[in-house]
Structure 1
């Protein structure tokens, strides 16, 4: 078979308006190529009707062309996928980026997250070494709106941003990233909208096709982690067929991923303590101390501690796709489709957790970075201190489910009127079980009543973005079963469910006008319910040995001595504990299951019902409700001013949102305020709370305009302007209010979330210039977003608790004898902070297929993009001790992607690199620690060979240089995370027929 160069042929055919298909059944002889190119060029000179490479509408009797009348040309490989993507971008009506089906199929990305990061202005946050969350134009995943087949998707993350690693690239036929909106698009993306699409079976050219992919994989760091899996696999197949004279189409697909999850890591904790460690008590530049006699005491900031861990496990993803499309008559198409993903992860984390407890420790030889301690000798002051080194054997399980179902009916009522009705259901469920097993050192674990070893000395020095220097007085004991005892077990499930039902009706009316080509209008209704459930089980103590819940003596069959290797090889050995065997020995009758409860471990709540023990499991469990009704009208422009063709659209979208959340509000024991008897899972009755539902309703008007100016046959100028919105993360709308009264009568409260939060709003402007070459394109774009506000968690001092619906007792009882008056304190909650600002940037992209080079080099090509983004939006953080300024989460000033590729006679190879400089994001493995991440460059390599028309073999390496993830708190000397994930090698084959 001879594969034509795609660039000249596909672009020329698109310009000529000649429909064509790709097939492996028909080949063109090499001698005929020049003649064929000449014929295409001549056709292009006589016609000027742009046509995208592949018709996206299903084939019906009205638009079907007999296959015998079409010259079928085979164009394959990475070059074709680039040209397909450029055509989709070229003939789109907004500022967008596109990925074609062959692009996704040709590059064996683990998920859609990997595939999308190759587009200009898009970067990824790696979780466990894999791209999961994507950032668009310097904004984090919370500002990215996502659809599948045009339908809003809910997420297992508990937020609104979907986890793209749950979408196998093998089951997605195309993807688009809309950087400028239009009125017909569903609202929700300040950063942009990602639209994923599965296959439309009637639009395919072949009557029947089948594709299978099998790949084995290997991680080269797994042998450094005891118990980690070295090998994994990927398997996928898909079938598409057309029946009943091309009026019935069927497509099914399945993709399975089973990959090892491997990491070796250091994780630093935030600086949440302070102490005068260098004796400068009278330094007037220091903060005011806690001692009333030292009004100018000097204190340094202390980190909570750090972890040294091996991570391992297996991630298993099963994806299913199906579609049935029926076109019984010329003007009607009915399609039903389904997408299902099951992503299960079972992982362990073993090693050390060092808790410094610096405010209560003996500290010698402190090393300072500014006003923060980054090293020194820490010792335990007394048996009541918390300075210690825990040996951890954590067991985490995450079971995620994603479902998307839809039915779409498209009816061409008349030549001018089209009606489209869509009904959909999107649901997601996540069951995350965080299990922690702590072990500590005893003086002698062999005796009947072992004693906690208080002879603890920790010597450490952080080395910025390199691994720290560490030393432990108990190092020899960490691998000795006669010293180490299991002292505590805890499991903390977090279950959430998210479900959205939507109905959409759209109309398009074609006009015989020299200005407006058509009018689109319609409406959409969606009903969404989100719920989360928290529960807990704890036994034992992590900072001592409990008398009532004594520690567990370990045996040889429960443990294995683990040595560190590679860069981490200087750390002391430790005991890896078989969690199941340890729990079976500790709880012979079976490990108790976690519960929602008001009480602490003894089942006790305080007299007023205020938060105590585990009541957070009750207060943080609840539901969020969201109803949205939106309507839009949009005019599509098609006119010519002078000799300048102008296309595009303008319109407005009106959105009404009604949001609310369940809430347990403390009303004391007053029945008149709605107090109820609320029983937890273990039978404790609390009479101080009332069940309420609170929320707000609001309406937004979102105008938009997109103008495309065809300067000449090669050049296109785009301008877009719009008002856009992104709703708060769905979990931030939950009602989790709690309040306490201190011994002196001060009332303080907190709410991590807030059902009254309103969306983020922004006015944005885009200007893009696109120049299309014979074999590629050059694109330059600038953008500007003015964002009104962001969500911040702040403390409101002297908060009027009574005036805002809280139950406020007049007096605080002290031992049921004396009484003190109560007074307002601080209420900490999430609010819409008005301190917004601009985000602006520049994007450049260049694609070139060098088809004019001599034959052996005509398959050489290059694809690259660069973006620069800056913002005045800043936030304040104190996680590194001193209050410092952080940039907008997700923003890297510089992001670049490049791919160099080459193909010749069935052989194809390419190397790809993606770079982003430093950015701010949530630190991996630590909740609510938003830190600075160092820049990173990730390089991937791939080579493939087409053995026969149907059979191909492939070799690939992901993360070729074993690029780590590194983060820090404010300054690089205050280390955050250092994670190494290893290289991933793939070897497999693809068969198509």
Structure 2
């Protein structure tokens, strides 16, 4: 990302961003007390856009003049806390060439949010999807996180999600000084932001007002849901410390920051699983669409996040600045889940009597009993522990002389995510201790209750807590390990034109990036579900040291008690110790779903800054084009069977000749033109128009080349649901924004409308009679005919050709100092957004086929905050709302695409300042214990009902 000249002026003044250009965002006022009196300067706000005539003396000032005027404007602001953050963000937005929204350090650091994601949701049109109770994936412009480009200090960020979207809970809010959301595009922005581009920045120590500054923050936390979850700890804490220093006559700046979070991972959930096709459900011949099963589960554990940031900046002369910075975050989420799972209500494995039907034929209740050997109410002990880390850093230099500015940046970033993913099940058996234990016949009665907790009862609950009846059936470990890294080089230059009546500067640059993604799957399995395969391991007895009777409390108190099982301890007690997950041909999906993707991007852009006058009014902006040359290839294994491949020995020592190495890919070039124009009616009102062609890369995980195979009736069939031949998702975007700015930078009102026509979306598809040879895919020889197999099914991903359009409206108002006297510290912000799209995809996950909407799109969303600062006491009450939306994060055995119900989340926080250096803080997060609720198209077809509890923080802040 490159900065326009007018935005560079903002950075030099007080709140610039993009350290990769040798500039860091200015920190919050280190001299000021966060609760000091909210007073604005009496100096008038400059009018950089206004003009009354077309004469040279009275024409609107050029962007070079705006730098000085804006510096004066921001320099006159003496307010602190949330009021200051609003006014700083307003000025940054006002003088930018793109349509954007900003949150700044006083926003984020004054009363820290859980992560940068929470701060972003206070902006219009920005919504977050809560994962584990915390805002994580950001949705923007009616699109999911896979359509968002994210940078830190100007560098594209790797992801820990295993796909394209960034998990923003990886970024501690205490270490991020500013975040800018670009809602329109320009040629200098790194491609990928179809929904929006989110640019985070850390602080430049040379911008600190003091020679030495220290900021220490500590707060303890309490979660009120933890007492209902066995093994969960209700207490936690957050600690952060930051130091900045300037040396050698303020030419050398050093900054260090550390942030640590320890908190409970807590939730209780009721889960209804996906619905299947029309089936006969009992001996009486009744038919319907049964659910695959239900779950009730307690989730506990502990989350720990350590974040580090380091910066060094050297500016030996006014013309040269060099620097280095690094950011590192490690997140350990020790998450376990224990409870019951009733599965196989379908496929003839169970009898469903007294079924409760919906009008569409879906079955949402009844009595389920054994019809075959594989139905039962399993006791589950799952381990979802995830270790993830992100590193981002680089070296940069900026040189300017006369009209020339040259910037160079070299960077490296890396993300690693490893989820243990342990699935442990136990069942009641007869004949335990004999050579042939058998699964007990069982039954249960259940009922879904729409968006509320459902019911589950059993006639013989005592067997599920009796150590003499229960035994471990299966212990499976299925890790998900991802490595995602980028290596980048960016060279940019700007030449300012002083006398041109239309163009004020020419900018250009090149960007080279190598992106490598690795997926590594493996497995270890002892035993079998329901004990139906004794050769894989017989059921193992439990004892009181590895299985503890656990009962439910609160809203879940009606469910049967269960055994909280330590699966690893059960195996160890029975002499099973080697549980290392491995790749094996016995579980050939561990090879098929593993592989590497290499994407090389070579970009160049050229952009002209516009600064002219039309009809006695100033017009600013830019026009440019970005050219992107992309080469993407993936290596993996393709199954060919019948020993038609090459000998490969798996990690268990077994050699197979049923697979061949493959390397497939594609190279393509894209031209991405863009234009941004700002028409300044006067100093308070302006109209922005933007148009651009944008692109979002295909999901990196969908580019894997591995394929599994099966042969049937002389046909060769492939499965994988991935394809390295996928092209980007292109969009033509149009944005229009009217902006009114209140006097003395005390707020703004904006109305933004947009249209994004996305030419295609990545979807999964099954082709019949697919021409494999024509697509360059090897077709093995059929030993029965001596000729290549006939074409069969191909389960893959593709770019659909239909695409679709997303329309939206964002309204946002911020205002400070609108009341006199003691109430002058009162401020408000409020935003309301509408989005709609006709894009639909067919889904059978609710039984009868239905059309689902575009993932990530909420038709309505809103944000509001009321804040107050009287010099000693400050407080903020904020709330966010989003209507229902589609996502693939349903909690079940596999990810499922479901609807998320509307939700409203409130937070309350306050501070009391004893001195200018010391204050006490209190926060209440998820004030009303808003649950996450999902459903399968019809709100009566329950997906997940998940409660996380309210978290209370109490602590202090110390500034030196």
TM-score, normalized by length of structure 2? 0.92
Aligned to 1:750: 719
Aligned pairs for 1:136-147 (under 5 A) are 136-147=140-151
Q: Does 1:182 align with 2:186?
A: yes
| Bigger Rg, structure 1 or 2 | 1
Structure 1 vs Structure 2 CA RMSD? 2.9
Identify the match of residue 793 of structure 2 among 801, 826, 848.
826
Aligned to 1:992: 959
Aligned to 1:368: 357
- CA displacement, residues 948-971 of structure 1 (integer Å, 9 cap, x when unaligned): 011011100000000001111111
Greater CA deviation, 263-272 or 652-661? 263-272
**Partner SS for 1:581:** helix
> Against the structure 1 CA distance between its residues 300 and 516, is the aligned structure 2 distance closer, same or farther, given a 3 Å change threshold?
same
How many Å apart are 1:541 and its aligned residue? 1.4
Identify the match of residue 435 of structure 1 among 422, 425, 433.
422
**Partner SS for 1:478:** helix
How many Å apart are 1:862 and its aligned residue? 1.0
How many Å apart are 1:300 and its aligned residue? 2.3
Aligned to 1:788: 759
- Contact kept? 1:23, 1:74, Cα under 8 Å: no
**Partner SS for 1:303:** coil
Identify the match of residue 494 of structure 1 among 480, 491, 498.
480
**Partner SS for 1:84:** helix
> Against the structure 1 CA distance between its residues 50 and 235, is the aligned structure 2 distance closer, same or farther, given a 3 Å change threshold?
farther
How many Å apart are 1:380 and its aligned residue? 0.9
How many Å apart are 1:53 and its aligned residue? 15
How many Å apart are 1:581 and its aligned residue? 2.3
- Contact kept? 2:679, 2:686, Cα under 8 Å: yes
Identify the match of residue 469 of structure 2 among 461, 469, 483.
483
- Contact kept? 1:518, 1:636, Cα under 8 Å: yes
| Distance (Å, rounded) in 2 between the aligned partners of 1:556 and 1:278 | 39
- Contact kept? 2:501, 2:612, Cα under 8 Å: yes
> Against the structure 1 CA distance between its residues 277 and 676, is the aligned structure 2 distance closer, same or farther, given a 3 Å change threshold?
closer
| Distance (Å, rounded) in 2 between the aligned partners of 1:42 and 1:494 | 56
Greater CA deviation, 224-233 or 451-460? 451-460
Q: Does 1:644 align with 2:610?
A: no
How many Å apart are 1:456 and its aligned residue? 1.0
**Partner SS for 2:146:** helix
| Distance (Å, rounded) in 2 between the aligned partners of 1:274 and 1:821 | 37
- Contact kept? 1:745, 1:820, Cα under 8 Å: no
Q: Does 1:898 align with 2:864?
A: yes
Aligned to 2:830: 864
> Against the structure 1 CA distance between its residues 158 and 821, is the aligned structure 2 distance closer, same or farther, given a 3 Å change threshold?
closer
Aligned to 1:846: 813
Aligned to 2:526: 539
Identify the match of residue 646 of structure 2 among 649, 659, 676.
676
| Distance (Å, rounded) in 1 between the aligned partners of 2:847 and 2:618 | 59
> Against the structure 1 CA distance between its residues 668 and 21, is the aligned structure 2 distance closer, same or farther, given a 3 Å change threshold?
closer
- Contact kept? 2:283, 2:351, Cα under 8 Å: no
Aligned to 1:761: 730
How many Å apart are 1:529 and its aligned residue? 1.1
Aligned to 2:21: none
Aligned to 2:516: 529
- CA displacement, residues 98-124 of structure 1 (integer Å, 9 cap, x when unaligned): 111111112311111111111000000
Aligned pairs for 1:146-295 (under 5 A) are 146-277=150-281
Aligned to 1:738: 708
> Against the structure 1 CA distance between its residues 809 and 49, is the aligned structure 2 distance closer, same or farther, given a 3 Å change threshold?
closer
- CA displacement, residues 380-434 of structure 1 (integer Å, 9 cap, x when unaligned): 124xx3211100111222111111111111011x211111001000111111110
Aligned to 2:631: 658
- CA displacement, residues 124-153 of structure 1 (integer Å, 9 cap, x when unaligned): 000000000000021100001100111111
> Against the structure 1 CA distance between its residues 236 and 987, is the aligned structure 2 distance closer, same or farther, given a 3 Å change threshold?
same
How many Å apart are 1:444 and its aligned residue? 5.1
**Partner SS for 1:523:** strand
> Against the structure 1 CA distance between its residues 491 and 807, is the aligned structure 2 distance closer, same or farther, given a 3 Å change threshold?
same
How many Å apart are 1:73 and its aligned residue? 6.7
- CA displacement, residues 241-296 of structure 1 (integer Å, 9 cap, x when unaligned): 11101110111100001111100001221123541248998xxxxxxxxxxxxxxx
Aligned to 1:583: 571
- CA displacement, residues 163-211 of structure 1 (integer Å, 9 cap, x when unaligned): 1100101001111000101101111111010000011111222222110
> Against the structure 1 CA distance between its residues 64 and 957, is the aligned structure 2 distance closer, same or farther, given a 3 Å change threshold?
closer
| Distance (Å, rounded) in 2 between the aligned partners of 1:793 and 1:170 | 40
| Distance (Å, rounded) in 2 between the aligned partners of 1:797 and 1:978 | 38
- CA displacement, residues 505-533 of structure 1 (integer Å, 9 cap, x when unaligned): 00100012111000000101111111111
**Partner SS for 2:701:** helix
Q: Does 1:400 align with 2:388?
A: yes
Q: Does 1:695 align with 2:665?
A: yes
How many Å apart are 1:45 and its aligned residue? 11
| Distance (Å, rounded) in 2 between the aligned partners of 1:884 and 1:856 | 57
> Against the structure 1 CA distance between its residues 376 and 405, is the aligned structure 2 distance closer, same or farther, given a 3 Å change threshold?
same
Aligned to 2:42: 37
**Partner SS for 2:192:** coil
Aligned pairs for 1:41-60 (under 5 A) are none
Aligned pairs, number: 921
- CA displacement, residues 331-355 of structure 1 (integer Å, 9 cap, x when unaligned): 0000100000111111110000101
**Partner SS for 1:188:** coil
**Partner SS for 1:485:** strand
How many Å apart are 1:690 and its aligned residue? 1.9
How many Å apart are 1:71 and its aligned residue? 8.4
Following TM superposition, the consecutive aligned residue runs of length 4 or more in structure 1 with deviations greater than 6 angstroms are 30-34, 39-57, 70-73, 278-281, 818-821
| Distance (Å, rounded) in 2 between the aligned partners of 1:403 and 1:56 | 36
Q: Which runs of 5+ in 2 are unaligned?
A: 1-9, 15-25, 52-57
| Distance (Å, rounded) in 2 between the aligned partners of 1:427 and 1:53 | 41
Aligned pairs for 1:7-18 (under 5 A) are none
- Contact kept? 2:478, 2:521, Cα under 8 Å: yes
- Contact kept? 1:939, 1:960, Cα under 8 Å: yes
Aligned to 1:950: 917
How many Å apart are 1:472 and its aligned residue? 1.7
> Against the structure 1 CA distance between its residues 667 and 226, is the aligned structure 2 distance closer, same or farther, given a 3 Å change threshold?
closer
Identify the match of residue 553 of structure 2 among 555, 558, 565.
565
Aligned to 1:977: 944
How many Å apart are 1:564 and its aligned residue? 0.7
> Against the structure 1 CA distance between its residues 45 and 435, is the aligned structure 2 distance closer, same or farther, given a 3 Å change threshold?
closer
Greater CA deviation, 43-52 or 778-787? 43-52
> Against the structure 1 CA distance between its residues 646 and 72, is the aligned structure 2 distance closer, same or farther, given a 3 Å change threshold?
closer
| Distance (Å, rounded) in 1 between the aligned partners of 2:550 and 2:948 | 19
TM-score, normalized by length of structure 1? 0.89
**Partner SS for 2:230:** coil
Greater CA deviation, 350-359 or 818-827? 818-827
- Contact kept? 1:262, 1:982, Cα under 8 Å: yes
| Distance (Å, rounded) in 2 between the aligned partners of 1:405 and 1:932 | 38
- Contact kept? 1:242, 1:250, Cα under 8 Å: yes
- Contact kept? 1:794, 1:829, Cα under 8 Å: yes
| Distance (Å, rounded) in 2 between the aligned partners of 1:571 and 1:31 | 54
Aligned to 1:912: 878
Aligned to 1:718: 688
- Contact kept? 2:50, 2:680, Cα under 8 Å: no
Aligned to 2:20: none
How many Å apart are 1:810 and its aligned residue? 5.5
How many Å apart are 1:884 and its aligned residue? 0.3
> Against the structure 1 CA distance between its residues 758 and 737, is the aligned structure 2 distance closer, same or farther, given a 3 Å change threshold?
same
- Contact kept? 2:910, 2:922, Cα under 8 Å: yes
Identify the match of residue 618 of structure 1 among 584, 587, 591.
591
Aligned to 1:127: 131
Identify the match of residue 388 of structure 1 among 376, 382, 387.
376
| Distance (Å, rounded) in 2 between the aligned partners of 1:651 and 1:42 | 28
Aligned pairs for 1:957-976 (under 5 A) are 957-976=924-943
